[in-house]
Amino acid sequence: MVGASFSSVEKIEQRLFFYVCGFSFFLPLSKAAGNIFLVLLLLGFFHRMFRKHDDVLKIFQSYKKIFLVIAALLAAVFISALSSADAFFGVKKFIEKYIFHMSSMLPLIFIKYNREKIILLAKILCVGIVISNISVLVQALPRLSNEDWRFGGVLTIMSQATLLAMSLPNFLLLSIYFERRRLKIFFGFAAAIGLAATLLNGTRGAWLAVAILIPAAILLVSKNKIKSFGAILAAAAIIGGVVFMTPKFSERVASITNMQMQSNSERLLMWRSALNMFEDNPIFGVGYGQYKFAYQNIYIMPEAKERDLSHAHNNFVQMLAECGIVGLASFIFMWIYFSYFSLRGWLQRKNVACLIFFFGLWGMMLHGFTEFNFETAVNSKLFWFSLGLCLAYSRSEKIIPLKI
């Protein structure tokens, strides 16, 4: 009786939901803890699929276009891995960076949780992100006078930067969207912490991303566009004043267009090397997983100073070099289709989950013009998990503006 109860579909799904909650919380805080819950999540998911899988085909049909877009990307990267000089390493990396990272969304897609549980998962994720952002402030406060003043908190600087670019516009968006006072206060607080963390993180690509996305997010959800536009201008003037009166911030902003600065000049050299890789291997690139070897041993420019770099600091250039035109085309098509799918969900049905996913997607991609973040553990898992939350929420119930 105990064994039967343990293996019942209901008990499996209860345990699985606990694992998903743990993953939601630790995802933005700890790669190790997040991976523990992700492995438990996958074991529970496969156990559930073994016990009950008669609804899988129907779910595939519901998300057919989404799966086709993802399948096209997977096929392009996998073929590139097989065609590389070290196919074993390429396939191994493909399983880790794509299959494992993507798997976080499987329970959300294939198991029908009710709307309240999906909202709870989103709340837990938001709390984890806020704690991660607070860790940047805690790390920064005693070291603000240091010459090396950029901070990542519990994450690396670049992972935290992408996390901020994906979440900060959404925190502001939700502070406007929700009607309940406590939710407005929470997301307003989350946005304020996120803004401070973004400044102290010091990543210019993330600064540009949030500068573009925050006004777009506010204008999309606000009812009074003129008033909101005025508020945006006022906030921009205040933040701009703080930035330009603070030497460290103002120098960092000025460096964006300084092509003599080493980080800028090195990126230009890396991108030129990557284009050379593409010119020599136009269809499937140098092979997935082979960028590091090809760059450091064959294609590095003579004038490059940072000679041990392992990626191109750009999602699109990285994909072009490693996976060729086939890989880049599938990657761009995924971006375009996911943008269309999510923005349509908001404009046609006022589905806030779609809008949140839209800004998370664009936060990653805009920062991805100056940083290779699509395969970074925290950011990649967050991206796919957010897609799962979006799809799960969209099918949970009739979509109406939340008043919780």
Query: Does residue 69 carry a pLDDT above 60?
Result: yes
Query: What are the structural domain ranges in the chain?
Result: 2-260+305-396
pLDDT of residue 402: 40
pLDDT of residue 251: 84
* Of 190, 153, 154, 156, nearest in space to 170 by CA: 190
Structure tokens at 388: 């799962």
pLDDT of residue 353: 94
Please work out, in degrees rounded to the nearest 5, the angle formed at the alpha carbon of residue 254 by the alpha carbons of 207 and 265: 90
Lowest mean pLDDT among 24-28, 54-58, 206-210: 54-58
Query: Does residue 399 carry a pLDDT above 70?
Result: no
Distance between CA 392 and CA 111 in Å, rounded? 9
What pLDDT band is residue 403 in, cutting at 50, 70 and 90? very low
Phi first, then psi: give them for residue 36, nearest 5 degrees: -60, -50
Cα end-to-end span (Å), the chain = 40
What pLDDT band is residue 253 in, cutting at 50, 70 and 90? confident
Between 233 and 130, the higher pLDDT residue: 130
Lowest mean pLDDT among 22-36, 257-271, 283-297: 257-271
Predicted TM-score (pTM) of this structure: 0.92
Percent of the chain with pLDDT over 70: 97
- Backbone torsion region of residue 350, taken as left when φ is above 0, otherwise alpha when ψ lies between -120 and 50, otherwise beta: left
Between 93 and 230, the higher pLDDT residue: 93
* Of 218, 133, 143, 211, nearest in space to 173 by CA: 218
164-177 pLDDT tens trace = 999 999 999 999 98
Structure tokens at 273: 């090397």
pLDDT of residue 145: 73
What pLDDT band is residue 204 in, cutting at 50, 70 and 90? very high
What pLDDT band is residue 4 in, cutting at 50, 70 and 90? low
Distance between CA 257 and CA 304 in Å, rounded? 19
Within 10 angstroms of residue 4's Cβ, the number of other Cβ atoms is 8
Between 102 and 10, the higher pLDDT residue: 102
pLDDT of residue 318: 96
Query: Does residue 362 carry a pLDDT above 60?
Result: yes
Q: Which residue has the tokens 């603000």?
A: 144
Q: Indicate the average pLDDT of the chain.
A: 90
pLDDT of residue 397: 56
pLDDT of residue 13: 87
Instruction: Please name the residue ranges forming H helices in 99-224.
Output: 101-102, 106-110, 115-140, 157-177, 181-201, 204-221
| Residue 279: HSE in the Cβ half-sphere, 13 Å Cα cutoff | 7
Mean of the pLDDT values across residues 111-131?
93
Burial class from Cβ neighbours inside 10 Å (0-12, 13-18, 19+) for residue 123 reads middle
Does residue 295 contact residue 273 with C-beta atoms inside 8 Å?
yes
Buried b (16+ CB within 10 A) or exposed e, 64-75: eebeebbebbbe
Mean of the pLDDT values across residues 358-378?
96
Structure tokens at 133: 């952002």
Distance between CA 301 and CA 290 in Å, rounded? 17
Please spell the DSSP secondary structure of 266-291, one letter per residue: HHHHHHHHHHHHHHHSTTTTT-TT-H
Show Cβ contacts of residue 233 under 8 Å, excluding neighbours closer than 6 positions.
none
Distance between CA 32 and CA 17 in Å, rounded? 19
Within 10 angstroms of residue 124's Cβ, the number of other Cβ atoms is 18
95-113 pLDDT tens trace = 999 999 999 999 999 888 8
Between 328 and 62, the higher pLDDT residue: 328
Lowest mean pLDDT among 8-12, 63-67, 138-142, 198-202: 8-12
